[in-house]
Amino acid sequence: MLTNFKTIVRRFSVFNKGLRSIKRLFSLLFAISFATVLLINNFTSVTAQVSQIAATEIRGVWLTNNDFDILSDRAKLQDTIGQLHRLNFNTIYPLVWNDGYTKYPSAVAQRAGIPFFFKGREGQDIIADIVAQARRQGVLAIPWFEFGFMAPLTSELASNHPDWLTQKQDGTQTSISAAGEVAWLNPFHPEVQKFITDLVLEVITQYDADGIQFDDHMSLPVDFGYDKYTTNLYTQETGSPPPTNPHAQAWKQWRTDKITAFMFQLNRAVKARKPNAIFSVSPNYYDFAYKYQLQDWLTWVRLGAVDELIVQLYRNDLDSFNSKLTSPELIETKQIIPTGVGIMTGLRNRPVSIQQIQSQVRAAQQQGLGVTFFYYESLWDYGQEPVAQRQAGFQEVFANPAVRDRSQFTARKPSFNTISVPLYAKGSVGQRSRGYFMELAIAGGQPKRVLLDTGSAGLRVPKEFLGNSPINRTGQIIKEVLSDGTVLEGELVYTNMQLGLISTDEPVPVQIVTSRQCLPQKPNCSAKSGTPFSGIIGVNYSEKSLPYNPLRKLPGNLSNGLIISGNSDSNNKASLILGLTANNQNGFKMVSLSPQPAINSIPGNRWDSQINGICVTISGTAMKNTCNGKMVVDSGTNTGFTEVKSAALMGKLKPGRLRPENVLKLGIPGIFDYSLTPGNREGINAWNLNVSAKAENPVLVNSGIAFFDKYDVLLDPANGQQGFRSRS
């Protein structure tokens, strides 16, 4: 997903290829203000989803500290917003938080020991006045949390809460930015997260604003995160201390994912308070934001946690500007949400011509992008051209009105085409010789690792795995018999399931297992040992009753199939890929599955999980390339087996475990060719041979988990196919 990065930080360059740098310098010079703030693996983009939101062009401007003289005067403010409206602007972003201070009276800030200074000339609440004036003029007002986690080390916030600050590896707590020397609040600290969440919800509740916007400093410089709290947390979660290289991929991704998780939860908190609030983000361009600021805003978009994106592109060179307009990240994002770019309109000592501004606006418009200008006072007061000429220039590029409707900005579903979920070697409870376990959260509980089983369907977990989210109890007690003879018994309920930050579209059926027993004919099943039940998620599509495969209810393309990529090495780099695409299906050889009758309570198509036409050879038996067998590809079984209906096929062998001389070969011509030298290692080479006169098939094969060491396996429920790709 990520590319190589060659960008380096240039601190005070006005047109720093995406950095909003000079803005910080003038903010420092003109006022004291502030903001503090605050699984995902290898997400792949959606390329065809088109948002249901009418993509009205963003025509915005930031209202900064430099504009305080206007913002604090009611008459001037009314004239300002009226003039913007007449020139067909449709959005303003008034500053509410930077340098450690709010621009509005805040009970949350007061409790943190932060004083309030920014009243209007008549003592009025400036933000309330801006929002009210904008509402009357038909312009959206989206308060702007400019500084994010950044704060001066000398601020009351930093002084009162030193434990909220993070640091570099050498112990220093500050970095040099265009705003001067600043400290960084720890985005991983729960008290920091609560403080920022409370501030944001306070703004959303206190004002009838149209949303909230976060800046490129809703992030953390990659050199930070070596404070005691964060290093302990990382060590606890990974088993190793943070590496000395701040760019080490696992360490960088861990911090990035933590910030992503916070932004996701912050979005959900905002939407719970005000569903139509626009959750806007204005970052740097993606390569820089991810590598140097741990800000994976593309994943935020794909998670459905961003309603509007404004990428900062402050630069003079038009070719350089144009090159960023066609980046893959912007192309993808503009298909999903209103998207624009930030354009510099000048500084007091560095004016920007109206000709350059118009060229950049038109270039953005040609790519279907909106624009937001930094900042209001520079629109026409700093230019070399007369005010009237500059205003006429804006009128030319915004010739017709573009009214924005916030009523359509409701919570969005994730827009991933495909995701990769890690598979682990051990479950959260219980032990077994081998298995693939995926991490789930059920009913809002803590993530637990449950066994991934392609040989069954449905989610079955112990009651201890449940959280406090709503559960719809049916009172129906159901039983499930596993291939080893274990009988699971428990109530069928409906509740939500979550993979990382992605939830099922609706509650799914779950068996809450309260009893495990062995069938009389299989007394040595897994229940015999008394080992705690680790839970099972059955992911085939041959359900005969509830519960069904819960992956059917993942959002969008993620529900259209899966790929299991196993691994036999000690690193256990196995993964489950959810969501089939043309790219991730490359190299698979497909076989058709037999369709099954529809069942009203089970959504989607049902397919027989047994593959026909399996050719079986076992040395020392009468099975010599016998091609009338059926096979279940089963990741949930440690020991593979062959079951025959006629004892004659066994030759001189007796039922039981095969020996090394009984070499096994399985295959479908042109699809896969699998061989195994039997041994005694569960999950690696153990293989049993059984006979059952009552068997439905002449030969039935269960692949066992070792099959996944040699083949990636694909399940396609839309087309009724199973695929195999050699891993050699």
pLDDT of 641: 95
- Coil/strand/helix, residue 365: helix
pLDDT of 48: 39
**In this structure, what are the phi and psi dihedrals at residue 615, rounded to the nearest 5 degrees?**
-95, 130
Closest CA to 453 of 663, 714, 685, 633: 633
pLDDT of 572: 55
**Tell me: the pLDDT tens digits for 459-477?**
999 999 999 999 999 999 9
Distance CA 224, CA 177 (A): 14
Burial class from Cβ neighbours inside 10 Å (0-12, 13-18, 19+) for residue 64 reads: buried
- Annotate 94-118 with DSSP letters as a single string: EEEEETTEESS--HHHHHTT-----
pLDDT of 295: 98
Q: Which two tokens mark 254?
A: 């861990």
- Model pTM? 0.87
Q: Across 64-199, where does the E strand assignment appear? A: 91-98, 101-102, 140-141, 144-145, 150-151, 174-177, 180-184
- Cα-based angle 179, 292, 421 (whole degrees, multiple of 5): 140
In this structure, are residues 542 and 605 in contact, taking their beta carbons and an 8 Å threshold?
no
Rg (CA), the chain: 30
- Coil/strand/helix, residue 371: strand
In this structure, are residues 622 and 651 in contact, taking their beta carbons and an 8 Å threshold?
yes
**Tell me: the pLDDT tens digits for 194-249?**
999 999 999 999 999 999 999 999 999 999 999 999 999 999 999 999 999 999 99
Three-class SS of 494-509? EECEEECCEECCCCEE
SS percent in the chain: helix, strand, coil, step 5: 25, 25, 45
Closest CA to 567 of 425, 665, 725, 419: 425
| List of the chain residues with pLDDT < 50 | 1-42, 46-54, 570
In this structure, are residues 9 and 176 in contact, taking their beta carbons and an 8 Å threshold?
no
**Tell me: the pLDDT tens digits for 117-160?**
899 999 999 999 999 999 999 999 999 999 999 999 999 999 99
pLDDT of 412: 87
Q: Which two tokens mark 552?
A: 């059917």
pLDDT of 43: 53
Percent of the chain with pLDDT over 90: 84
Task: Report the Cα–Cα distance between both ends of the chain, in Å, rounded.
Answer: 24
pLDDT of 21: 38
